[in-house]
Amino acid sequence: MENCLFCKIANGDIPSNKAYEDDTVLSFHDIEPQAPVHVLIVPKKHYTSIMDIGASDAALLSHMIEVAQQLARELNISDDGFRLVVNTGENGGQSVPHLHIHLLGGRKFGWPAG
Ligand code: 5GP
Ligand code: ZN
């Protein structure tokens, strides 16, 4: 989609510090990390938010979770634990309207979310 930041990162128009890439998914380190490990897992196809995901996208979503698991192992946060976050819409704190999963780790997180 034109003028979408993460579409531009996904197609290489804007550079990123990549953590993982395949045909359908890109992962890159967040520009403003909120934890020692903070990467974003992004579908290359544009979805504005998790609300755009339907039954026909089940394989993609499960693949994104597999990528999160693999990165958690590679980035050495799988044993201590980590957090996956999908901010959605205004109240959810979503600032980039292209679906992404945050993978955060390397420190302890509070709950409930702020
Ligand atoms: P959201 O607020 O939508 O859940 O998450 C968007 C995330 O994208 C934020 O954590 C923000 O720091 C990150 N971000 C915004 N612009 C860029 C960018 O140009 N490059 C990278 N690597 N991360 C970005
Ligand atoms: Zn997009």
Is the distance from CB of 82 to CB of 103 less than 8 angstroms? yes
Q: What is the pLDDT along the chain (114 residues), one digit of tens a residue?
A: 889 999 999 999 999 999 999 999 999 999 999 999 999 999 999 999 999 999 999 999 999 999 999 999 999 999 999 999 999 999 999 999 999 999 999 999 999 998
Q: What residue ranges line ligand 1, CB within 6 angstroms?
A: 5, 16, 28, 30-32, 40, 87, 93-96
Q: Atom 17 in ligand 1: which residue has the minimum CA distance?
A: 31
What's the confidence (pLDDT) of residue 104? 98
